[in-house]
Amino acid sequence: MIKNYLIILIVFSLSTCLSKGSKEKISNDCTDHGPPPFHGTIFINPDIITSSDPSTFIDLFYNGKALRTMYDRRVSDWINLEPYLFPATYDDNLTIEIQVNPEFGSPEKAELVAKKYAVVIGRLTTELRKDVETVWIHRGLEAFGGGNNNLLIHTDWSEKHYENQGILEETFVHEAAHTSLDSYHAKDPDWINAQSTDCTFISDYAKEHPEREDIAESYLPYFAIKYRRERIPESLIEKIEKAIPNRIEYFNKKTFKMYPVE
């Protein structure tokens, strides 16, 4: 049973900067290095991961309908329904149950949607998918979400915003970082020290929510300069390396499972 106290992991995402009034802050004694270089990092470059990159996705199959609890941003609440179920397999021995809202009308239509996103998710590394157990897919003009061993997708928003800008894969990196990185690193004393030592944030969104968003906002730029350096302009590399050198070093020291990138 999904526990309601974990809702915060799903409710917030990069594209809906919900505020609760006072902003979270990381206290430190360093001099402010100025404003962050970006508003949000999923927008910095659409070529970090592209449709031409390999996917670990193997296949999926229709496994009927069964009762599931899913989060739906359109009602800002948990819903109980019987989605179409598609277990998806990946060639690094990971499996994800993709749950498609029955509003899509038929198993055949739901399978097309499930496979579309399963392939894209397969371009993420093993490290980012390791804790993804389920994917929730709904219609609607609502932003994606991550956390709670899940990736949340609203297809109308995906098409209008992420896909039209060519940043669908980059958005999944951000959301999967919530799912598979936050719980291991966000409260690590070395990470908190890196935040304080850098004296700035990579984005406005990370600065507004340093405890909740800084890992996800920082990881994509780190990935870009570490593994896709030849795809991005030197000016972008300089901004990233200037803003978060200690966070970069923190990530460099980790033994992340980078398949299929490496």
Indicate if the alpha-carbon torsion angle 64, 128, 213, 48 is positive or negative: negative
Does 28 reside within a domain? no
- Based on the fold, state whether residues 128 and 213 are members of the same structural domain: no
- Based on the fold, state whether residues 123 and 189 are members of the same structural domain: no
Structure tokens at 197: 């030592």
Given 134, 158, 180, the domain boundary residue is 180
> pLDDT at position 22, please?
34
Q: Omega before 35 cis (within 30°)? A: no
- Based on the fold, state whether residues 66 and 98 are members of the same structural domain: yes
Given 125, 152, 180, the domain boundary residue is 180
> pLDDT at position 194, please?
98
Does 244 reside within a domain? yes
Does 20 reside within a domain? no
Segments forming the whole domain that contains residue 218:
33-48+183-252
> pLDDT at position 34, please?
79
> pLDDT at position 30, please?
64
Residues 235 and 193: their CA atoms lie apart, in Å, by 27
- Based on the fold, state whether residues 150 and 101 are members of the same structural domain: yes
Residues 190 and 102: their CA atoms lie apart, in Å, by 44
- Based on the fold, state whether residues 225 and 118 are members of the same structural domain: no
- Based on the fold, state whether residues 172 and 157 are members of the same structural domain: yes
> pLDDT at position 168, please?
98
- Based on the fold, state whether residues 119 and 204 are members of the same structural domain: no
Per residue in 197-211, is it b (16+ CB within 10 Å) or e — as a string? ebbbbbbbbbbbbbe
Question: What is the model's pTM?
Answer: 0.89
The mean pLDDT values, 10 residues at a time, for the chain of 262 residues are: 38 37 47 84 98 98 98 98 98 98 98 98 98 98 98 98 98 98 98 96 97 98 98 98 98 98 84
